Amino acid sequence: MSKSTDSTNQSPSHSSGQPVIEVRGLENRFGNHVVHESLDLDLLDGEILGIVGGSGTGKSVLLRSIVGLKRPNAGKINVLGNDLNQLSSKERSQVERRFGVLFQQGALFSSLSLQENVALPIIEHAKLPREDAEYLARVKLSLVGLEPEAALQYPESLSGGMIKRAALARALALDPDILFLDEPTAGLDPIGAAAFDQLLVTLRNALGFSVFLVTHDLDTLYAACDRVAVLSQKRVLVTDTIQNVARTDDEWVQNYFNGPRGRAANKTAHSNDRQLRSE
Ligand X SMILES: Nc1ncnc2c1ncn2[C@@H]1O[C@H](COP(=O)(O)OP(=O)(O)OP(=O)(O)O)[C@@H](O)[C@H]1O
Count of residues near ligand X by CB under 6 A: 10
* Rounded Cα gap, residues 211 and 198, in angstroms: 14
Nearer to ligand X, 33 or 127 (CB): 33
Buried (b) or exposed (e) across 182-195, using 16+ Cβ within 10 A? bbbbbebeeebbbb
- By beta-carbon proximity to ligand X, the closer residue of 69 and 264 is 69
State yes or no: residue 58 binds ligand X (CB under 6 A). yes
Could you tell me what percentage of the chain is helix, strand and coil, using 3-state DSSP and rounding each to the nearest 5? 45, 25, 35
**Would you count residue 72 as binding ligand X (CB under 6 A)?**
no
Q: How far is the CB of 181 from ligand X (least distance, A)?
A: 13
Considering only 2, 10, 18, 56, the residue that binds ligand X (CB under 6 A) is 56
29, β-bridge pairs:
34
Out of 53, 72, 145, 184, the residue judged to bind ligand X by CB under 6 A: 53
Task: Identify which range of 59-67, 146-154, 163-171, 257-265 contacts ligand X by CB under 6 A.
Answer: 59-67
With a CB cutoff of 8 Å and minimum separation 6, the contacts of 20 are 43, 44, 45, 79, 80, 177, 178, 210
Residue number with CB closer to ligand X (39 or 108) = 39
Contact 161, 146 (CB under 8 A): no
CA distance 85 to 72: 10
Q: Which of residues 9, 57, 115, 266 is near ligand X by CB under 6 A?
A: 57
Q: Which is nearer to ligand X, 39 or 224 (CB)?
A: 39
* Residue among 21, 26, 42, 59 that touches ligand X (CB under 6 A): 59
Question: What mask, x for binding ligand X by CB under 6 A, covers residues 23 to 52?
Answer: -------x----x-----------------
- C-alpha 252/C-alpha 124 separation (Å) is 43
Binding segment toward ligand X, per CB under 6 A, in 58-66, 83-91, 199-207, 261-269:
58-66
**Smallest distance, Å, CB 248 to ligand X?**
18
Task: Determine the residue type at 203.
Answer: L
- Minimum CB distance to ligand X smaller for 3 or for 29: 29
The C-alpha atoms of residue 68 and residue 151 are separated, in whole angstroms, by 30
Task: Output the DSSP codes for 204-234.
Answer: HHHH--EEEEE---HHHHHHH-SEEEEEETT
Q: Binding to ligand X by residue 185, rule CB under 6 A?
A: no
Q: How many CB atoms lie within 10 A of CB 54?
A: 14
* Residue closer to ligand X, measured from CB, 59 or 138: 59
CA distances from 234 to 21, 58, 256 (A): 19, 8, 18
Least distance from ligand X to the Cβ atom of residue 13, Å: 29
Q: Which residues bind ligand X (CB under 6 A)?
A: 30, 35, 53, 55-61
